[in-house]
Every structure is written in C-alpha cells, then in structure tokens.
Amino acid sequence: MSEIEIGRGKRGRMAYGFDQVAIVPSRRTRDPEEVSVAWQIDAYHFDLPMMIAPMDSVVSPETAIQIGKLGGLGVLDLEGLWTRYDDPAALLAEIAQLPDHMATAQLQQIYAEPIKEELIGARIKTMREAGITTAAALTPQRTAQYWRAVVDAGVDLFVIRGTTVSAEHVSGRAEPLNLKQFIYELDVPVIVGGCATHQAALHLMRTGAAGVLVGFGGGSAHTTSEVLGISVPMASAIADVAAARRDYLDESGGRYVHVIADGGMTTSGEITKALALGADAVMIGSPLARAVEAPGAGWHWGAEAHHAALPRGTRMHVGTIGTFEEILQGPARQPDGSMNLVGALRRAMATTGYSELKEFQRVEVVVTP
C-alpha cells in the first residue's frame, strides 16, 4: 500500500475509521427474516455475532446469563469487582455517585482489593449452572497466576485480553507468558488480543488461538490515544487482520482463526461495517452499558480506568435507554442506531443481498469524503 509523506523524515500510510467507509448496496436484495447472523467459534454456536466486553459496568455473572440466553456471549472480567468482593453492589452504587474529579482516584482505591481465587471459581460456576456458554477474561500479566482456577472451574472460552497483546513480549524482569506453549497445553479454546496490524495478528494466530481480538485504544471509555499517542483506526485494522486470517489459512493448510472486532463501535452501523470489513463477530461494551440491567447504572468504565500507575480510561456517563433485549433485538425507540443492533445488521445484510455473515464479508465498501 502506498505511503504518504508526513514530513521529510517520516512517511506513513493512510488508515480509515468507521466514519470514513460505507457499505455499497448490490443488485440483489433479500427479506431480513431470511438472513442468518449466527456464528460459531470452535464447538460453540451463537445466534448473535456479539461478545460483550469484560467490563464491570456491563458484565456480571447475572448479566452474562441474560446475554447468553439472548444468543450472545458475555465475557466476565476475572480481575474485576466480582472476583475482588463477595458482593460489589454497594461499590457499584458508590461508583455511580462519584463526582467526576474523584472518579479515577476512587476507582484505583476500590480496585486495589486483591483478587480472590475462590471467587473466580464461584463466578464461573454460577454462569455454568445457568446452562450458558461461559467465557471469562484475564490480562496476560495475570494469566499465569490464575489460569488453573479458571480451567478447573470449567470455563468454555478463555479470553486473554489487554490493550495490546503480542506473541513476543520481551521482559528483563520476569519470565513472560509463552502464549504458544500455554495455548498448546490448554484444553480450552483461547481468544487473544488486542492487536491492530497484519504482522501482529499473524503472530497471534500462529500461537494456536481460536480467535483474535482486533483493536487498540479505540473503545468509548479509553483514553489510550491521548495518554500514549497510540491508536489505529478500526476500519483499516479489521481489514488488515482479516488479510492475516486469509494468509494464515493458506500457511496452516486450512486452519481458520476467527477475527473479532473489539472497540470503537457504539452504533449498529459501526457494528455492521466491522463485519463487512472482515470481522466474524464483534466485542462491544458501551452500547450494552446503556441497558437498565447493566451493573454500571448508566455509567461505563473499563480496566484501563483504574490502572494504578497510568490510567488510560475514564468513567463516562452513557445513561440508560432500554433493556438488553431491546438494545440487541428491539424494538427500537431511538433513530440513532443505539437499539435493535441485530435488526439493523439483518436489514443491512438483506439490503445488500447477503444471507450469511461469511458472505457479507465480501460486500463492496467505499471510502467516503
């Protein structure tokens, strides 16, 4: 891809965000009722191509169960409030009442409570007993310490998620997690990320991961771009990682690694574009944080917001607009793409003539002014 000159000493290629691309209608249309938005990763089938991000403001064991019964997949943060406190209800209420200028410092104090290994097993057991597919997340830094408790509890899908995750972490202070060896020895499908480039994604796919998360610093509650100056526009990132999936498919002799867009999607249109650009599914947080059942009570924050040394996120007010079911499956009462996310996806696929998500990845897109 051609590069442009930023100045005499630096060149870079053009990259695009969701607002700079659009989906093109085709010569064929379909009825939305005849469109399938189901997807499958490893042995697990889902009616909706939506994973809910491991954020305490959205996913608790109880809301993971609700989302699972609606056809999606809620991912529990195993470094969040539910593994630090027996009952975090009072703390969630406190977080919702904090003045903005105190929010970050108070979050840091609340999340300073140590993780309790017995609560990891208890939370996963609660979800398993409800009969849903269970998914839970750890950061790479804590995976080596807690993975056995996660697997012993019977998790179905293990998510290793960080702002960025590489297959070649270098450290002079501690032995880094060997992702390839870890995944090889683990009898549970692993989804790992984020990443934002073709090369980084290809290396993660070679570790044996079942899925790769795409995204860096683009979430609604992230301030990574402001704090670190690092970000990659999501449309280009997804397309690059989808190309890595194709290259790895050829390299491995037919092993398909699922690409999951993670971050930067707040409306149904952005979710639809992510899938059109090559994602197999999406991981969303803030759209579901607006549900009346969400633990954040109209507030949204991620793990970056309470980082002890360098917070790269914020507690943000998103309000409430409806139930999980209304946000995911309608009916919609807002015209801004915030409700009936699945219905909008179905209609977009029908309007462009596609009946399956894999086919929809071939839809024509254009760059808009």
219-228 mean pLDDT: 74
Lowest mean pLDDT among 86-90, 141-145, 244-248: 141-145
Indicate the pLDDT class of residue 303, thresholds 50, 70 and 90. confident
323-348 mean pLDDT: 96
Mean pLDDT of the chain: 92
Q: Which two tokens stand for residue 130?
A: 């409800």
**DSSP 3-state percent helix, strand, coil across the chain (nearest 5):** 40, 20, 45
In this prediction the pTM is 0.94
What percentage of the chain reaches a pLDDT higher than 90?
79
- Chain centroid offset of residue 33 CA: 27
Cis peptide before 331 (omega within 30 of 0): yes
Q: Which residues contact 357 (CB under 8 A, 6 or more apart)?
A: 36, 37, 38, 39, 49, 275, 280, 349
205-233 mean pLDDT: 82
What pLDDT, on the 0 to 100 scale, is given for residue 194? 84
Q: Are 72 and 51 in contact (CB under 8 A)?
A: yes
What pLDDT, on the 0 to 100 scale, is given for residue 186? 87
Check whether 208 has a pLDDT greater than 70. yes
- CB atoms near residue 212 (< 10 Å): 28
Indicate the pLDDT class of residue 106, thresholds 50, 70 and 90. very high
Convert the pLDDT of each residue in 339-354 to its tens digit: 999 999 999 999 999 9
